[in-house]
Amino acid sequence: MSDNALTSIKDVTVKVLDGKLVSKHLRNQIRAQVAEFKEQGKRSPGLAVIIVGDDPASQVYVRHKIKACKEVGIESFEYQAPATLTKEDLKKKIEEFNQNEAIDGILVQLPLPEHLSSDEVLTWVDPMKDADCLTAENLGLLWAGRPRTKPCTPSGVMEILKYYEIPIQGARAAVVGRSEIVGKPMGLMLLQGDATVTMCHSKTLNMRQILLESDVVVVAAGRPLLLGREDFKKDSVVIDVGIHRDQGKLCGDVRFDELEGQVAAATPVPGGVGPMTITMLLSNTLDLYRLHSN
């Protein structure tokens, strides 16, 4: 058992599950793998990032994604378009990226402007280049237990659990939230890790009762500071996916400050799940590169 493993944590303090640390560890591995491919004379993996409009949060996310690519040796191809971009022109651009052999992954930054339906736009992305695992084909493969890529945020959560050797097999796990990009695939991945999973959502009755019976709780409700000490079982593990900005300060869906002495371990906000999402995008891009290089 490594130093990371969660062992004698009972009645001590809450162990902070450090997403920045796990992310650094994984990015080092990705960087080393990319360097190895290049030493073998192969091309760099490539990720295309498409951003339409000037949503400030999306601009920040895209900048972080491009910077992260650079740091591990993945080549990025950015396409910035004004919010007035037509459906036809966006489709043409995606088709161009689908054909470009230097590009392994394509990411369409969401949300899109109102006149562009993300459901429709995602059908234009070649599933072999779906770096976010948002196409129906790749979600189907994930469902069938044969993933090509994995949804970034829930796979980031799984990597945190793995790094800290938190036992999932046989555990009772609860997921709060059932969105397509976080909650649903999160429940599936925990199930595939042999947990017994309960999905909670805004219509769930007696949610606290369910959470109090759960060894691992992943919270992705998108409600600032929704849950606290009284919602979690003693010595459970709490993963907070939520991100909110409150008067310039970031917080999650969980009142982290209350957890000490109650739960065994928890992710903080910021510095928990957040850094993992981009890391898993890099990991998906590398997985697609391997498929294209074979």
- Catalytic residue list: 65, 109, 132
State which of residues 223, 229, 255, 292 lies at the interface with ligand NAD (CB under 6 A).
223
Spatial separation of the C-alpha atoms in residues 270 and 267, rounded to whole Å: 9
Binding ligand NAD (rule: CB under 6 A), the pick from 20, 31, 201, 229 is 201
Kindly state whether residue 200 participates in binding ligand NAD, applying the rule CB under 6 A.
yes
The residue length of the chain stands at 294
Residue 193 binds ligand NAD, judged by CB under 6 A: no
Closest CA to 280 of 182, 208, 145, 193: 182
CA distance 293 to 20: 30
| Region 233-272 residues binding ligand NAD, contact defined as CB under 6 A | 241-244
To ligand NAD, the closest distance from the beta carbon of 3 in angstroms equals 26
Q: From the CB of 228, what's the least distance to ligand NAD, in Å?
A: 13
Q: Is 176 in the site for ligand NAD (CB under 6 A)?
A: yes
Q: Is 107 in the site for ligand NAD (CB under 6 A)?
A: no
Q: How far is the CB of 258 from ligand NAD (least distance, A)?
A: 17
Q: In angstroms, give the least distance from the CB of 106 to ligand NAD.
A: 19
Q: Which of 147, 177, 187, 268 binds ligand NAD (CB under 6 A)?
A: 177
Q: Which two tokens stand for residue 244?
A: 């909110």
* CA pseudo-torsion sign 282, 285, 291, 292: negative
Taking CB under 6 A as the criterion, which residues in 119-158 touch ligand NAD?
153
Are residues 219 and 226 in contact, defined by beta-carbon separation less than 8 angstroms? yes
DSSP-derived secondary structure for 145-213: T--SS--HHHHHHHHHHHHTT---TT-EEEEE---TTTHHHHHHHHHHTT-EEEEE-TT-SSHHHHHTT
- SS3 state at 105: strand
User: Binding of ligand NAD at residue 221 (CB under 6 A)?
Assistant: yes
Residues that bind ligand NAD (CB under 6 A): 153, 176-179, 181-183, 200-202, 204, 207, 220-223, 226, 241-244, 273-274, 277
